[in-house]
């Protein structure tokens, strides 16, 4: 029975595969023109100090408003953009647009931009792009934070170190994103001059009821304090998770409990008001995710 089932699923898999493949090829063709057709949009999710509800930073998150398929999430199109190299011009647009938008916010609110490992590979081009964006928009360098994942550290540690160091010398923030999902060597924290660590949402999810998760978060709080790094807990969705995180000493959180990602326009209207945690955030008109 096991054999028959697996044989059946192989056929199913192939049919499925070709459908998926076909769809990918179509999306790929659409992706080539998405930029010139202005189909990309940045939405922004506040990162909040839970003690007063104030926004300390907003993370720019890329959306593709596809003319027929509607909004396509980054998990679908970023891998395509990376495979084709399109991520480089798209990524440059993201940095420029995020810097421009942040000039409309109070100067104590930073903006965070995600970088693909592909952008990270050409360090000199990246620095040039970033400095150009800052110069063109007039955003102060210290207000920009670039988020990278561990994968960029593994590929070429030496290159990554010199790039991160160069960015930090320019006062640009560099955050280690999704910490805890990869290899998460503590050695990385020692070796690379990150300004911020973002603890992946798996820890927030398990924070309530798991002493082991709590112990890890407590440890990370201590380590980032000692290393003078900022810490953000990602994916805080419930009041209980917030309560646990706060009690463990986490003083910056990001998640649906405070806000979903918002359109630039909506964010501008709300960014200066402290945010109250709301367990079931209403999908307001400006909420796009
Ligand atoms: P990320 O950098 O870790 O961003 C956080 C993701 O978690 C976002 O998903 C956000 O909408 C989602 N999120 C926020 N709060 C919560 C919560 O409380 N619960 C849950 N379940 N999710 C929450 P999004 O926007 O779909 O982005 C996914 C990933 O795509 C990002 O993960 C980032 O790695 C990548 N990405 C997004 N924008 C860009 C970009 O401009 N360039 C590059 N290279 N990657 C991007
Ligand atoms: Mg991120
Ligand atoms: Mg993240
Ligand atoms: Mg994450």
Complex confidence, ipTM: 0.98
Q: What is the pLDDT of residue 1?
A: 42
Q: What is the pLDDT of residue 24?
A: 86
Residues with C-beta atoms within 5 A of ion ligand 4? 178
Q: What is the pLDDT of residue 14?
A: 75
Low-confidence ranges of the chain (pLDDT < 70): 1-11, 280-289
Q: How far is the CA of 177 from the centre of ligand 2 (A)?
A: 6
d(Cα 182, Cα 180) in Å, to the nearest integer?
Answer: 6
CB 261 less than 6 A from any atom of ligand 1:
yes
CB 177 less than 6 A from any atom of ligand 1:
yes
CB 237 less than 6 A from any atom of ligand 1:
yes
Q: What is the pLDDT of residue 16?
A: 76
CB 46 less than 6 A from any atom of ligand 1:
no
CB 30 less than 6 A from any atom of ligand 1:
no
Atom of ligand 1 nearest to the CA of 115: 44
Atom of ligand 1 nearest to the CA of 94: 41
CB 150 less than 6 A from any atom of ligand 1:
no
CB 61 less than 6 A from any atom of ligand 1:
yes
CB 116 less than 6 A from any atom of ligand 1:
yes
Q: Are strands 54-66 and 70-72 parallel, antiparallel or unpaired?
A: antiparallel
Q: Are strands 54-66 and 110-114 parallel, antiparallel or unpaired?
A: parallel
Q: What are the tens digits of pLDDT across the range 80-139?
A: 999 999 999 999 999 999 999 999 999 999 999 999 999 999 999 999 999 999 999 999
Q: What is the reported pTM? A: 0.92
Long-range contacts of 70-78 (CB under 8 A, 24+ apart): 71/288, 71/289, 72/27, 73/289, 76/27, 77/27, 77/31, 78/116
Q: How far is the CA of 148 from the centre of ligand 2 (A)?
A: 7
Q: Which residue from 61, 95, 232, 255 has its CB within 8 A of the most atoms of ligand 1, so it is best to mutate?
A: 61
Q: What is the pLDDT of residue 282?
A: 52
Atom of ligand 1 nearest to the CA of 119: 44
3-state secondary structure of 213: helix
Q: What is the pLDDT of residue 2?
A: 42
């Amino acid at each position: 029975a096991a054999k028959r089932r697996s044989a059946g699923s192989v056929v199913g898999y192939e049919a499925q595969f070709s459908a998926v493949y076909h769809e990918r090829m179509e999306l790929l063709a659409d992706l080539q023109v998405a930029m010139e057709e202005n189909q990309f949009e940045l939405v922004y999710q506040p990162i909040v100090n839970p003690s007063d509800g104030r926004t300390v930073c907003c993370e720019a998150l890329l959306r593709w408003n596809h003319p027929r398929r509607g909004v396509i999430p980054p998990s679908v199109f970023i891998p395509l953009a990376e495979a084709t190299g399109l991520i480089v011009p798209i990524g440059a647009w993201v940095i420029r647009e995020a810097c421009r938008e942040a000039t409309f916010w109070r100067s104590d609110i930073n903006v965070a931009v995600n970088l693909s490992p592909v952008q990270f590979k050409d360090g000199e081009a990246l620095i040039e792009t970033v400095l150009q964006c800052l110069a063109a928009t007039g955003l102060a360098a210290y207000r920009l934070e670039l988020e990278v994942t561990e994968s960029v550290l593994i590929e070429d540690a030496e290159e990554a170190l010199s790039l991160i160091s160069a960015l930090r010398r320019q006062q640009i923030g560099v955050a280690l994103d999704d910490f805890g999902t990869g290899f998460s060597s503590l050695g990385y924290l020692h070796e690379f001059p990150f300004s911020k660590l973002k603890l992946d949402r798996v820890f927030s999810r398990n924070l309530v009821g798991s002493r082991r998760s709590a112990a890890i978060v407590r440890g990370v709080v201590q380590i980032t304090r000692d290393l003078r790094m900022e810490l953000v807990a990602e994916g805080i969705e419930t009041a209980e998770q917030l309560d646990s995180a706060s009690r463990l000493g986490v003083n910056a959180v990001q998640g649906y409990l405070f806000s979903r990602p918002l359109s630039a326009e909506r964010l501008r209207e709300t960014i200066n008001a402290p945010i109250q945690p709301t367990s079931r955030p209403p999908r307001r008109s400006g909420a796009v995710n």
